[in-house]
């Protein structure tokens, strides 16, 4: 019995990931993620969709918008079953509601579709197996990317088809490595390769560099602003600082607080819950404008969303501290081309103005994605006959495909293209 993989998003692009696996003689299938990207004007670009009546189930690998932002579309005229871990379900509610708040004008779905998605979501745990219909069974393993992220393995009439979602296989303060060693051999591997041609520096090196910048700024009586993604990056930085125990107040602002509370409620999904709890209890959680106005007026460390400085409290703080050379702005999140954070790094200019940023500006690599070497090691361990590369820019995907072929880590390597369907 043959199966096929249809790429609805994430082919030769990072994000907007959505993949359908179906039996070749049936229109019905299982949807793996359904994400959204944003164009140069920050408008949402949704993944292609598949008729909801033919979707037996939707499996969400984790709660980032580029993996869940299209999913509510399936509830305009359908009601498929959704599977996700408990932290993913809880974070998806926050992320999708925030998405509608910022992008509702461009969205074909509304709050009722988000509500329907959440009501149809059954939570699953690592190691669990569930029947999906159409002779398919799913089992779940930690992807090591963010708390609650999972690798899905579909058992399809004897074929084992693995979908990584976003993946990391190193230990950090927040996360343990992915459960690669528990999966065993697979026949088909649908794998992200965001950093398929890049090597990340050792995490310890990035941590030491961060602490060094903080110490140098504090010595000058300055304030350090750390714009960070709300999910995982903000908490990772909190935990590093909690271990370091800095001599100035630390403030945490934005959605980072709510996500931290979700992580602490689901402490079995994180590596060192006691360290995160220490940070949450000892740091100053900003709960309003009075706290916000106080945070930057004296030497301090401020961890705030949004990570690319597109808005939120991090942009507010930048405008308050960015003109003073005693202060520092440390980027720890990916800065997309065209984002305010990328403009600061490349041009040294404040967002929406020609005014120079006088504060010290640094970028540190705290990526929660696997790099080239880790990705290659995962392919070797899972030993697939067929590797389908998704969630990767075209040139990066081509570079990683060549690496896999040279190492003979997979028999057949496919660089996925959107709207194409591949027989497996």
pLDDT digits (tens, 9 = 90+) for 360-409: 999 999 999 999 999 999 999 999 999 999 999 999 999 999 999 999 99
Tokens 């714009």 -> residue: 227
Mean pLDDT computed over 91-119: 96
Distance, CA of 396 to CA of 199 (rounded, Å): 12
User: Across residues 188-197, what is the average pLDDT?
Assistant: 98
Q: What is the pTM of this model?
A: 0.96
CB atoms within 10 A of CB 191: 28
pLDDT digits (tens, 9 = 90+) for 30-54: 999 999 999 988 899 999 999 999 9
State which CATH number among 3.10.20.30, 3.40.50.1100, 1.10.3720.10, 3.60.15.10 fits the domain covering 3-198+368-423. Answer: 3.60.15.10
CA distance 351 to 290: 24
- CATH number for domain 203-363, candidates 3.40.50.10890, 3.40.50.11030, 3.20.20.140, 3.30.70.120: 3.40.50.10890
Strands 421-423 and 3-9: antiparallel
User: What's the confidence (pLDDT) of residue 354?
Assistant: 83
Q: What is the full DSSP assignment across 378-423?
A: HHHHH--SEEEEESS-HHHHHHHHHHHHHTT--SEEEE--TT-EEE
How much of the chain exceeds pLDDT 90, in percent? 93
- Residue 1: the pLDDT is 66
Q: What mean pLDDT comes out for the span 269-275?
A: 98
pLDDT digits (tens, 9 = 90+) for 278-312: 999 999 999 999 999 999 999 999 999 999 999 89
In this predicted structure, the answer to whether residue 134 has a pLDDT above a threshold of 80 is: no
Query: Is 90 exceeded by the pLDDT of residue 171?
Result: yes
Rounded to an integer, the average pLDDT of 188-195 is: 98
pLDDT higher than 90, residue 144: yes
Q: Is residue 238 scored above 90 in pLDDT?
A: yes
**What mean pLDDT comes out for the span 218-234?**
97
Minimal CA–CA distance to 415: which of 423, 396, 424, 322? 396
Task: Quote the pLDDT of residue 352.
Answer: 83
- Take residue 114 and report the two structure tokens written for it: 């988000």
The verdict on whether omega for the bond into residue 306 sits within 30 degrees of 0, i.e. cis, is: yes
What residue ranges do the domains of the chain occupy?
3-198+368-423, 203-363
Residue 183, classed as helix, strand or coil, is helix
Give the Cβ contact number of residue 376 at 10 Å: 19
Mean of the per-residue pLDDT values of the chain:
96
Residue 314 has what pLDDT?
96
Cα 264 → chain centroid: 18
Q: Are 238 and 276 in contact (CB under 8 A)?
A: yes
Give the single-character DSSP code of 329: E
Residue 133, pLDDT > 90, answer no
Residue-level pLDDT at 135: 83
Q: Which of 263, 277, 85, 268 is nearest to 176 (CA)?
A: 268
Same fold, 3-198+368-423 and 203-363: no
pLDDT in tens, 63-81: 999 999 999 999 999 999 9
pLDDT at residue 424, rounded to an integer: 87
**By the 8 A CB rule, do 18 and 1 touch?**
no
Which are the contacts of 175, defined by CB distance < 8 A and separation ≥ 6? 144, 145, 146, 147, 168, 232, 270, 271, 368
In angstroms, the CA 368 to CA 178 distance is: 11
Mean pLDDT, residues 109-125 taken together: 98
DSSP state of 245: -
Q: What is the pLDDT of residues 311-325, one digit of tens each?
A: 899 999 999 999 999
Cα–Cα distances (Å) from 28 to 15, 53, 54, 193, 220, in that order, read: 24, 8, 4, 28, 63
């Amino acid at each position: 019995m043959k199966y096929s993989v249809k790429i609805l998003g994430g082919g030769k692009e990072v994000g907007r990931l959505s993949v359908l696996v179906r039996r070749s003689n049936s229109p019905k299938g299982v949807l793996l993620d359904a994400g959204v990207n944003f164009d140069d004007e920050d408008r949402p670009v949704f993944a292609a969709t598949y008729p909801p009546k033919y979707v037996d189930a939707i499996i969400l690998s984790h709660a980032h918008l580029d993996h869940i932002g299209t999913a509510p579309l399936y509830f305009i005229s359908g009601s498929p079953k959704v599977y996700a871990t408990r932290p993913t379900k809880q974070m998806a509610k926050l992320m999708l509601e925030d998405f509608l708040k910022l992008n509702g004008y461009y969205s074909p779905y509304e709050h009722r579709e988000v509500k329907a998605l959440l009501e149809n979501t059954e939570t699953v745990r690592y190691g669990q197996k569930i029947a999906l219909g159409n002779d398919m069974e799913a089992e779940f393993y930690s992807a090591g990317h963010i708390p609650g992220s999972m690798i899905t393995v579909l058992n399809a009439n004897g074929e084992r088809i693995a979908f990584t979602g976003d993946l990391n296989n190193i230990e950090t303060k927040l996360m343990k490595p992915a459960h690669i060693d528990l999966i065993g051999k697979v026949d088909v591997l649908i794998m992200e390769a965001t950093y398929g041609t890049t090597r990340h520096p050792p995490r310890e090196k990035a941590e030491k560099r961060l602490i060094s910048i903080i110490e140098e700024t504090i010595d000058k009586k300055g304030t350090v602003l750390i714009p960070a993604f709300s999910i995982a990056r903000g908490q990772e930085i909190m935990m590093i600082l909690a271990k370091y125990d800095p001599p100035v107040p630390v403030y945490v602002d934005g959605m980072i607080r709510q996500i931290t509370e979700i992580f602490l409620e689901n402490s079995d999904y994180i590596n060192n819950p006691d360290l995160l709890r220490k940070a949450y209890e000892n740091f100053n959680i900003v709960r309003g404008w009075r706290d916000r106005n106080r945070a930057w007026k004296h030497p301090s460390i401020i961890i705030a969303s949004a990570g690319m400085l597109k808005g939120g409290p991090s942009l507010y703080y930048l405008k308050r501290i960015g003109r003073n050379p005693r202060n520092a702005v440390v980027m720890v999140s990916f800065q997309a081309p065209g984002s305010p954070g990328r403009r600061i790094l490349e041009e040294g200019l404040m967002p929406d103005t020609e005014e120079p940023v006088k504060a010290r500006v640094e970028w540190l690599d705290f990526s929660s994605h696997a790099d080239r070497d880790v990705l290659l090691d995962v392919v070797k361990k899972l030993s697939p006959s067929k590797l389908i590369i998704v969630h990767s820019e075209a040139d990066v995907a081509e570079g990683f495909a060549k690496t896999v072929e040279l190492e003979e880590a997979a028999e057949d390597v496919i660089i996925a293209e959107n709207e194409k369907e591949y027989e497996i």
